[in-house]
Amino acid sequence: MEKAKISVIQLFAMMFIYELGSALVVSYGVTAKKDAWLAILLGICGGIVLFFIYYYLFRQYPNLPLTGYARKIFGKYVGWIIGLLYVIYFLYDAARNLRDFGDLLLTSTMTETPLLALNILIVLAICYVLNLGIEVLGRTTEVFIVILILLGLTGNLFVYFSGNVELHNLQPFLENGWKPILTTAFPLLIFFPFGEMIVFTMLLPYLNRPELAKKVWLSAVISSGLILSYTTSLDIAVLGVEEVERATFPLLSTIGKVNLFEFIQRLDSLVVFTFLITMFFKISILFYVAVIGIVDLFKLKNHQQIVLPTGIILLFLSMAIASDFTEHIEEGLNIIQYPLHMPFMVIIPLFMLLVSMIRNGFKKKSRSK
């Protein structure tokens, strides 16, 4: 692995931006109708439960990434295969997010540009940053989280001043009961984006103050979850729940309604730039952990030699993943939840946790004798 260290602030910035990702602009949690904000809050609770599984494993093996302690727990050969499956999973998730990114730009601003051209540009930019290492990515995130917050505050002020917010669109509370809220929160909102935080099990060994990992991770999950809950509420308050359900990117429509003094209009660029920042870092992090996973499993000398080849694989995977955006969304929401996310985010980490706890129990018994 790369000999580098990232600070607590850098890790928080990476986690916060990663969590927002594409969830900020899509119709997130809207299957719970007007109570989407509550479903997201329940999703945070599920995300915290998953965090404690990942955190326990990190505490047992603080100097190893996920691919490393998989071999410690399951043995050299089985652990290696599980590590490789995680690398493929991270790469697949990066490809899905890359497709999200390209499709939003196609829909919103660059309607005549080929999808492949957009994806090539973002992959080249990511390869350049990751070739410089995780420390450069961490420092870049520190700068862009400030820009992201300023963009968010500016956009919110314009939305409120334009007088488009209708709070009655959020009423009545629990209109359809608890069932749609619970079925939305579990498992969909837990997996996306809170379960995706499993990628940071590959990055925690780089943290310069590992004793603060728990505080950083929890604060990132809670703060980003609250932002997502608030953003979904704002979309519904401005557009109404029916329009949010129909819209591919509701936040774009929300900002699009801003019209101050017949002068301040067409602020879609704020959302596009926000999405550009969150998705660039989310894809970069997923891509980087896949690369260092390959370095760890195949005992390579450094990660630079495989950044570009892996980037080419990522590019073609993003194009082959679905024939169009509708199929891509359908696959993400309905097809891969249980067969893909459930094993990698829940079942395998839980199994690791159990095996690790049993082994520790036997070790303590042998020491006491």
Q: Is residue 108 part of a domain?
A: yes
What are the residues whose beta carbons fall under 8 Å from the beta carbon of 248, sequence distance 6 or more?
26, 27, 107, 325, 329
Q: Is residue 276 part of a domain?
A: yes
Q: Is residue 319 part of a domain?
A: yes
Q: Is residue 361 part of a domain?
A: no
What are the residues whose beta carbons fall under 8 Å from the beta carbon of 130, sequence distance 6 or more?
137, 284, 287, 288, 291, 303, 307
Q: Is residue 41 part of a domain?
A: yes
Q: Is residue 367 part of a domain?
A: no
Structural domain for 197, as ranges: 8-351
In angstroms, the Cα distances linking 291 to 47, 306, 345 are 25, 7, 19
Q: Is residue 362 part of a domain?
A: no
Q: Give me the tens of pLDDT residue by residue for the chain, a chain 369 residues long.
A: 567 899 999 999 999 999 998 888 888 888 898 999 999 999 999 999 999 999 999 999 999 999 999 999 999 999 999 999 999 999 999 999 999 889 888 887 788 889 999 999 999 999 999 999 999 999 999 999 999 999 999 999 999 998 889 999 998 888 888 999 998 888 778 888 899 999 999 999 999 999 999 999 999 999 999 999 999 999 999 999 999 998 888 998 899 888 887 777 778 888 889 999 999 999 999 999 999 999 999 999 889 999 999 999 999 999 999 888 788 878 877 788 788 999 999 999 999 999 999 988 887 777 766
Q: Is residue 87 part of a domain?
A: yes
* CATH number, position 271: 1.10.4160.10
| Tally of domains within the chain | 1
